[in-house]
Amino acid sequence: MKKILNNPNDVVDEMLDGMVVAHSDLIRRIPGTTVIVRKGSPVVGKVGIVSGGGSGHEPSHAGYVGEGMLDAAVAGEVFTSPTPDQIYEAIKEVDSGKGVLLVIKNYTGDVLNFEMAAELAEADGIKVAKVVVNDDVAVEDSTFTSGRRGIAGTVFIHKIAGALAETGASLEEVEEIAKQVIQNVKSMGMALSPCIIPAIGKPGFELSDDEMEIGIGIHGEPGIKKTKILSADQVVDILLEKVLQEEGLLGMENSAVLINGLGSTPLMELYVVAKRVAEKLHEQNIKIHSSYVGNYMTAIEMAGFSISILKLNASLTKLLEAKANTIAFKN
């Protein structure tokens, strides 16, 4: 294992401290926790939005804490759900009295722990709403999941729900827009090589030099199939064929596209992917309103990418365009 680390068991703690040092104008850390919050939280008159999950997916989720997106992000150990007490601290810290929305990726540990934290907060009199993101169309059940997994499409929920919350909307309104985005965003990914969890020191799965895996999850969960290396265009075509047949995208005329690197994929290759995605959507007379290309939700140093397609309407487009000022997403 070659990594730029000190003690592998301290990597999350040191990473969070480093983020605050580098971006103290945007975020702060609740002492004694793994919670990153928006500087100035709680924001008076605003619904708080909290997300999080295992570390190793940076910039998710702390990279999206700030104006127009999240009010707090809770970090678990690498590929491990954050604990209920940490999530509970985040909820308390960002509640202005208007309530808090929890954005949860659909992994069993995340769902259970966020729900437990919500119960603790509700016992304190805090209003809490929850949405579960399940944008990955590759498989219905996987290693850590009952149902579909939550992957990079989650960033669109952060952005759009966060934008509406900035307007002073109610908890019910913010929850409803988040659910609409979840219904309208579909994703699927692939990998060329595995990643290594620092505390374990060896790859979580194996791929031969001439193999790739279609539909893999962001923790290395099995996908649909392993296959010999295909061209970029061939891979995009396979992923889009499955994504675009989803009911939530039927009748789509306008879209937002997220080409997400999984950690080790050069931008050169991601832009080759973006070119093919644009060609395929153009063939189907689907306009691309916004394109995002880069590392938005990684899997440590996994090589590969995912494609997320969001079906837009006028209200979602306006919220997508709204101001955001976070480490990893700025409008």
Residues assigned a catalytic role: 57, 219
> Do the bridges between strand 100-105 and strand 72-78 make them parallel or antiparallel, or are there none, so unpaired?
unpaired
150, 105 Cβ separation under 8 angstroms: yes
> Do the bridges between strand 35-38 and strand 27-29 make them parallel or antiparallel, or are there none, so unpaired?
antiparallel
Measure the N-to-C terminal CA separation of the chain; round to a whole number of Å.
37
Q: Where are the beta strands (DSSP E) in 64-127?
A: 72-78, 100-105
Distance of CA 15 to the CA centre of its chain: 18
298, 217 Cβ separation under 8 angstroms: no
**Contacts of residue 247, Cβ cutoff 8 Å, sequence gap at least 6:** none
Distance of CA 44 to the CA centre of its chain: 26
Among 218, 294, 290, 299, smallest CA distance to 260 is for 294
Tell me the DSSP string of 298-329. --TTBEEEEEEEEE--HHHHHHHHS--B-SS-
Tell me the DSSP string of 179-192. HHHHHHEEEEEEEE
